[in-house]
Amino acid sequence: MIKELHRSLMENFEQLVSWRRYLHRHPELSFQEENTPKFIAEKLSSFGIEVKTGIGGNGVVGMIKGGKEGRTIAFRADFDALPIHEENDSPYRSSVKGVMHACGHDGHTAALLGVAKVLSEIDRSRLKGNIVFIFQHAEEKPPGGAKFMIEDGCLDDVDLVFGAHVSTDIPYGKIGLREGPVMAAVDAFTIQIKGKGGHGARPHETVDALVIGSQIVNYLQQIVSRRVNPIDSAVVTVGVFQAGTAFNVIAENARIEGTVRTFNPNVRKQIEEEIRAIVQGLCQASHASYEIDYLNGYPPVINPRNETEQLRAIISETYASDCFYNYQPSMGAEDFAYYLKHKPGVYFHVGARGDDPKTHYPHHHPRFDFDERALLVSGKIFLSIVNHYLLQ
């Protein structure tokens, strides 16, 4: 049966590429997706699959009900794009100025649509359970779409959930799979400093927000190096520092924005406390006021051991043992973490860096692209999961 499923997917490869390129030409930003969910729902309906729209906002869920009792397996693909102006000159480049699929979500969606099409054609009386297709909006922008879709019931009665991400960090043909920590928790902070502006020649009459902000930035860099146990991984990055309006004017206001990445929940809490203490102490010592907006974003993606080992065995039935890439935990973040907090499952990466140099750019780069053969690898693994749990 699995060979038939894989053969059917391969026969639909040109269709998968067509869908992916259509989505690439028509990207939509997080929480602003309108046409993409319509496109997905129309395709699923055309396959004869039960469809629900507006799940948790802009999410779409499809379901195939089997003819026999068994488990319910869910697969998730995200479909939002990024606020990046594409610099590629391919015929399928983005048609929307300043918006681009620069993380492969167009591929995730096309691959899962292909899987749905193949599975819609099998004899459902042979299916020992149900299959749920979760097409998720707003992965790129916290608080993310996963949380809202789960609250709206997309995981109700689901036993296992799986997700895949194409990766240009990994060569085509290789699969990144590991148990335990896979991707980090992500938090964001904004610090507003209120001082007292004045003439650059009379600093003694002012409270210089720019100088206070500079001190805060310097102290923030010491949190990981001097406060966090070196055994634990953590990142504190300041990405925005805005202050001042003229060369001879002392700044009254300063704005600092940054991100925190961690795996250990205790370290996550510790860093937030350290940031708040640093800002409070320096501002009080400098006679300035402040505000902190601290957003706890996605939790870390943690793959459970049993399901990960089982997936490794399933993949090994289709691909050689050397297909597994030595994938290391990433400080990047993914709201697939919410699914794994509610249900057992696995999140894995599929190699998408081919021989063509255009597939060598990193994710979130204006020239990002990937080897479209990775669509088949993702799809085959999903189909192999269905075969193992629901068809054997």
List pLDDT tens digits, range 113-133. 999 999 999 999 999 999 999
- Which strands, in side-by-side order, build the sheet including 68-78? 50-55, 59-65, 128-136, 68-78, 160-171, 345-353, 175-176, 324-325
pLDDT at site 392: 84
Query: Known catalytic residues?
Result: 80, 139
Q: pLDDT at position 321, please?
A: 86
Q: Which residues of the chain, if any, have pLDDT below 50?
A: none
The pLDDT of residue 1 is: 87
Query: What is the pLDDT, as a whole number, of residue 307?
Result: 98
Q: Please write the tens of the pLDDT for every residue from 173-216.
A: 999 999 999 999 999 999 999 999 999 999 999 999 999 999 99
Per-residue model confidence (pLDDT) at position 87: 98
* pTM of model > 0.85: yes
